[in-house]
Amino acid sequence: MTVAAGVLVDQVLQRVRDEHATGTSRPLVRDLLTHCQRLINAKLGLVIESIEYETVAKQCVYPLASVVPRALRIVGVQQGNRDLVEVKWQEFWYLHRAWLRDTGQRLENFALVGRDMLILYPAQPEPRTVTLRCAVTTAPLTSDDTPVEAPIEFHPLLVDLATVVGLVRQRTYLTLPELTESIKSRLA
């Protein structure tokens, strides 16, 4: 079931006590919902795409922006029907100090350096196809009819995030601590 952005815009405007959008415009609320939806997806990985990618021979470091420009983060990597095990990139040093140039018969691990660098270990002697499962940048909510991509059970969190920004913009702080704590607990 899809929900149109306008439904969430109405909820946010109601919560910031501006039902007629006199102080906070509907395009601004849609913009806030767009940003909040992307942040939630970056954190929780709700909207996922699978992308086939061909690795480079003898290379294990890949800048993500050139591989998947829409990626917010990698949530999994598969080679064939096998999942690579995610590790912290610093752990490669303990495995083998020459990990940057290690080659092996099959990929075993993946790691992220920050948000935009992917390590596929060990490098392969020949190019191989892997499937990258990525949380992707959701589409902007350009109109009230644009569907919200986040699953419906996360819409209350999305509305709360946009509401809290709307309240700060209005400089209405009374409910802010409670709302912020509620958001933090749901993101933990």
Minimum CB distance to other proteins smaller for 83 or for 101: 101
| Residues in region 86-105 near other proteins by CB under 8 A | 92-93, 97-102
3-state secondary structure of 112: strand
Contact pattern for other proteins over residues 120 through 139, marking x by CB under 8 A? ---x-------------x--
Residue 86 phi/psi, 5-degree rounding, is -80, 135
CB of 101 to other proteins, least distance (A): 4
* Residues in Cβ contact with 71 at an 8 Å cutoff, skipping those fewer than 6 apart: 64, 65, 132, 134, 135, 136, 137
Contact pattern for other proteins over residues 141 through 170, marking x by CB under 8 A? -----------------------xx--xx-
Residue type, 156: P
| H or E segment and range at residue 26 | helix 26-44
Question: Contact region for other proteins (CB under 8 A) — 2-10, 13-21, 37-45, 143-151?
Answer: 37-45
